[in-house]
Structure 1
Amino acid sequence: MLPGEDRAARRVLLVCMAAGATTLLDQAVLNIAIPSMRHSLGAGAADVQWIVAGYSLAFGLALVPGGSLGDLHGRKRLFLAGVAVFLLAGVAAATGGGPGTVIAARLVQGAAAGLVNSQVIGTIQDVFRGVDRGRALGLYAVTSGVATALGPPLGGALVAGLGPGVGWRYCLLLSAPCAVTTLVLAARWLPPPRPTARDARLDVLGLALACGCTLTLMVPFIRTPDSGGEAALWAAGVCALACAFTAQQRLRARRGRGPLVHPALRSSKPYMLGTAVAMAQFGSSLAASLVLTVFLQDGLGLSALLTAAVALPSALAMGVSSALAWRVVRRIGPRAVSVGLTLGIFAALAGAVAALLVPDAGLPLAFAATQLLSGAAGGLAVSPNQTQVLQHAPAEAAGVGGGILQMAQRIAAAVCLSAVSAVYLHTATASPRAAYALASCVCAGLLVVALVLARLRRAATSSLASASVSEEGRPAVNLRVPGAR
């Protein structure tokens, strides 16, 4: 049963889940159609890289501005505008005649998806409280698993059935019916726009500096620098923009004007540590999925559809465990995140051992088993951690708090995808099995970092609770139920 006190709240959650499925399906379905798209468009390697990564780049850039605008002006109009632009840009990409048109359309589509998803997180924060919020965020995470599961098989079927010449175009159009449905339901069921930020003035300079810093950080991982000197210049640019952004935010707060990043977010150790946990877990998960796909197709010679079948248990298990994670949280509290991360470490190491020891004929089945465990682990970690992070975002900064969390995950994805795939590719020529095992160990290492950060976050949260008890004589928040206030 859907969480919520009334039918209206459940309808809002359905709209949010539809929006998440629409934007995630579009991204999941495309990867398997890239070879046919490249041949059909005559696109170069750089063009393909921008078609795939440009979506994530624009998505990440739009999250914080989208969340801030939603806090200032209400979320419904921005949600509707984002879905409409997403739909139109998808049609433009599917009908594009050259790589430039497709790249431009995908950039616009990614920005629209970021605008929509920042409103989704803020809307869930606005509508749900306590246990219901944890369950709502868990069900929103289910849409990630379902979309990820459906994307590759649907994409492979379209390319195989319609031919490589037009199959990739229908892959890009696959999300259009979902977008139309989401648009209609959102217009009817989303609550009227209601600003939540206290200061109605938009921090334009802060937005510009934040976007510039994000862009400068992500681009080198999408387009690899040609030399060490160029990489150093990019790193220096990131440091300069980050320092300028920090100084500008502090100055704006001292002048009594609302900064882009709410002071409660910057000063909250649980929020910052939880965001770091999400970054390490998300980056590890996406990097492991990419390396597995490359290894199965290039290293073992499996078809795209069989590769999708091996990855399917992970997505399905994540969907189921995300839906049930709130029950685990009610029993063991915030430790559910640590349990999920520990299982994820075990799954990654089991995959490395399988790559080294299991014969070729048994590897797909062995990997399907490790993917099942990995998906279940992700479901236990992702939505409870997300809920615990966002409970430290005040109501007037719910949108920007969720936007920062998602933007941090996108940055982590760009960094981890580049780094872990480089580890695999640099050693795959000698031994694909050893290369996959090494990459899996790197992903396990990222999850170890996430586990340490999760424990530090639990300690910080306990310290805050103890301080609240000593100052007020009573606890301010029930920490055993993420999202409770």
Structure 2
Amino acid sequence: MSGIGHSASGSERFSSRERRVLAVCLAAGFTSLLDQSVLNIAVPALQDALSADAAQLQWIVAGYSLAFGVALVPGGRLGDVHGRKPFFLAGMALFVAGGLLSSCAQDAWLVVAARLLQGLGAGLVNAQVIGTIQDVFTGAARAKALGMYAVTAGIATALGPPVGGALIAAAGAEPGWRLAVLLNVPFGVATLVAGARFLPRPRPQNASAGLDLPGVTLFAGLTVLIMLPFIRSSGYLAYGSGAAVLALALVLQQRARARSGRRPLVHPALTRSAPYALGTGVAMAQFGASLAYGMVLAVFLQSEVGLAPMTAALVMLPQAVGMGVTSTFAWRVVRRFGEHRVITSGLTLSALSLLAGGLATLYVGVGALPWVLALCQLCAGAATGFTVAPTQAQVLRHAPGEAAGVAGGLLQMSQRMAAAVCISAVSGLYLHASVPGLRGMREAFWHASLACTAIVAAGLLISVVNRSRGGAPVPPQVPLAPPKGKELAQ
């Protein structure tokens, strides 16, 4: 990847061409994340307007994540084999079409279909985003680019609830939820135009390797069977048995394909890399615990403390602010102290913040509780900002250039699965541990906080093991070996 600008030499400075590419990647991340956070606020109004039942509502909320997870690895493989730009544009077009369809829907099942379409598009797009960052940036510049991606995630997460709430409050429930789901269409169209203009031309890495359609089919089926029981909160044994069968079939099929000399869906380097697997485990623990805690906190603040949705959103807003702020300079801290130390410190702060929030619900009065929880959220967000981008950079460092899309897709899909499992488990613990009355709900929230703290602690332990297995951390300012055949071109 010689000749693409300053970042190729390991500097954190971007060339003008690289800034344009990064801007497209950040716009894609912002658009898909804003869509999800806005919808969460619009769901009650949507439910009333379309008379959606519980099953339809569940699919509207969870179908997006399910389709997103299914599309990630096949989408990454398509980008690795045939070039990323066409699939980025196709995915963004699907995302925009799904948004338009949702906003015009007169039936709840049509919204479900539209959300599945949007999820597929978003998964296809995000697989190309991670692969493109891998292709274009190296060393410290890659860490900085991933940090900016995390900042974008924090901003989108922070803006979604208040913007969605404001639209519904201003326009009313019926037009308000339609405007909320339509909000991302102009962002998607702008990203589509910018991607067509500024993303690198597709340069297939190894088109002769083929897509591995049997592997794609098995992997997609495995993803559905793993995530579906946690989305539906039922059928764990049946789905788990089916997932075990498909997992075994996938392993055997991938080994057979590799022995025949053809490239399997999951690159052999990824299956042999302990740092990649352990780093993915860290990312899963952090992501799953963060989303599970946020969901339970939102329910607790509104149902038990009695806060209005907008007020509850303001209590949770510092988490996104803290993440956005620390993500902007996390790459500098990593360069000074090393990835392992920063990730370990971030996970430690995250666990302490979650624990403090749980303790606060036990001992702080109702009047002061929202303020204390907001402070804990700020600390948790700061910890997340120090953890997310360094973990991504550490994990993806072990992926070969020709498998960057699959590596990024596997990472994101693993995080989605972790979120589904953790949300189901922690919310179930919260609901089953609660008894009528605020004191009972405080104790239930304390138990949920302990569970999230334990999940983060498990991630911390994995991080320590990863460091002991990997030896001295690789300094991020040292440029990584660029993938051959990948050049940035207009």
TM-score (norm 2): 0.93
- Give the match for residue 215 of structure 1: 224
Please state how far the C-alpha of 1:196 moved relative to its aligned partner.
Answer: 2.2
SS at match of 1:326: helix
In the TM superposition, residue 484 of structure 1 has moved relative to its aligned partner by: 3.9
Separation in 2 of the partners of 1:304 and 1:56? 23
Cα separation, 1, equivalents of 2:432 and 2:99? 35
TM-superposed CA distance for 1:122, in Å, is 0.2
Q: SS in structure 2 opposite 1:429?
A: coil
**1:469 paired residue number:** none
| Percent of pairs with identical residues | 54
What is the RMSD of the two structures over their aligned residues, measured on CA atoms? Answer: 1.5
Counterpart of 1:362? 368
**Aligned amino acid, residue 297 of structure 1:** Q
Partner of 1:457: 466
Deviation track 1:199-239 (CA, whole Å, cap 9, x = no partner) reads 431100000110111100111011122xxxx4322111111
* Equivalent in 97, 103, 107 of residue 98 of structure 1: 107
349, 352, 368: which one pairs with 2:355? 349
Unmatched segments (≥5 aa) in structure 2: 1-5, 482-490
1:7 aligned residue (11, 16, 19): 16
Contact 1:478 1:484 (C-alpha < 8 Å) held by counterparts: no
Q: Which deviations, in whole Å up to 9, do the C-alpha atoms of 1:175-217 show, x marking residues without a partner?
A: 1111111111111111100112464311000001101111001
- What does 1:294-333 correspond to in 2, within 5 Å? 294-333=299-338
Partner of residue 16, structure 1: 25
Aligned residue number for residue 474 of structure 2: 478
CA change 1:376–1:224 in 2 (3 A) is same
Corresponding residue of 2:193: 184
Q: Quick check: 1:387–1:483 contact (8 Å CA) kept in 2?
A: no
Paired amino acid for 2:409: G
Compare 230-239 and 411-420 and name the one that shifted more.
230-239
Q: How do 1:20-419 and structure 2 match up within 5 A? A: 20-197=29-206, 199-225=208-234, 230-334=235-339, 335-419=341-425
**Closer, same or farther in 2 for the Cα pair 1:116/1:62, shift >3 Å?**
same
Corresponding residue number in structure 2 for 1:474:
none
Asked whether the 8 Å contact 1:51–1:102 carries over to 2, the reply is yes
Residues in 2 aligned to 1:4 and 1:481: alpha-carbon distance in whole angstroms: 12
Contact map agreement 2:140 2:476 (CA 8 A) in 1: no
Q: CA deviation at 1:133?
A: 0.4
What's the CA shift for 1:5? 4.0
Secondary structure of 1:259's aligned partner: coil
The amino acid across from 1:100 in the alignment is W
Report the equivalent of 1:471: none
Query: Counterparts of 2:412 and 2:478 in 1: how far apart (Å)?
Result: 18
CA distance in 2, matches of 1:418, 1:224: 7
Amino acid at match of 2:179: Y
Deviation at 1:157?
Answer: 0.6
Contact 1:133 1:483 in 2 (8 A): no
Contact 2:209 2:262 in 1 (8 A): no
Q: Aligned partner of 1:400: which letter?
A: V
Matches of 2:87 and 2:239, distance apart in 1: 33
- For residues 405 and 268 of structure 2, what CA distance do their matches in structure 1 show? 14
Corresponding residue number in structure 1 for 2:432: 426
Give 1:472's aligned residue: none
Q: Is the 8 A contact 1:391 1:483 kept in 2?
A: no
Deviations 1:7-43 (Å, cap 9, x if unpaired)?
1011100000000000000001111111111111100
Cα distance in 2 for partners of 1:275, 1:313 equals 26
Question: Which AA in structure 2 matches 1:333?
Answer: G
Q: 1:159 touches 1:167 (CA, 8 Å); kept in 2?
A: yes
- 8 Å Cα contact 1:62-1:114 kept in structure 2: yes
Please tell me the residue identity of whatever aligns with 2:403: A
CA displacement 1:224-265 (0-9 Å, x = unmatched): 22xxxx432211111111011011111111111000000000
SS at match of 1:256: coil
Is the Cα–Cα contact under 8 Å of residues 72 and 200 in structure 1 kept in the other structure?
A: yes
| 8 Å contact kept, 2:49–2:173 | yes
Q: Deviations over 1:255-310 (max 9, x none)?
A: 11000000000000000000011111100000011011000000111011101101
The 2-side partners of 1:388 and 1:109 are apart by 30
Residue 4 (structure 1) shift: 4.6
- Aligned residue for 1:360, secondary structure, equals coil
**Counterpart-to-counterpart distance in 1, 2:263 and 2:381:** 40
Q: Give the drift of 1:332.
A: 1.1
Contact 2:289 2:453 in 1 (8 A): yes
For residues 311 and 479 of structure 2, what CA distance do their matches in structure 1 show? 40
Q: CA deviation at 1:483?
A: 7.3
What is the TM-score when the length of structure 1 is the normalising length?
A: 0.94
Alpha-carbon separation, structure 1, partners of 2:21 and 2:303: 43
Structure 1 consecutive aligned stretches of length 4 or more whose deviation exceeds 6 Å: none
Q: Is the contact between residue 26 and residue 151 of structure 1 (CA under 8 Å) also seen in structure 2?
A: yes
Asked if the contact 1:196–1:397 (Cα under 8 Å) also holds between the matched residues in 2, the reply is: no
Deviations 1:87-141 (A, max 9, x none): 0110101110011100000001001000000000000000001100000011011
Mapped partners of 1:148, 1:396: distance in 2: 32
Change over 3 Å in CA distance of 1:190–1:184 after alignment to 2: same
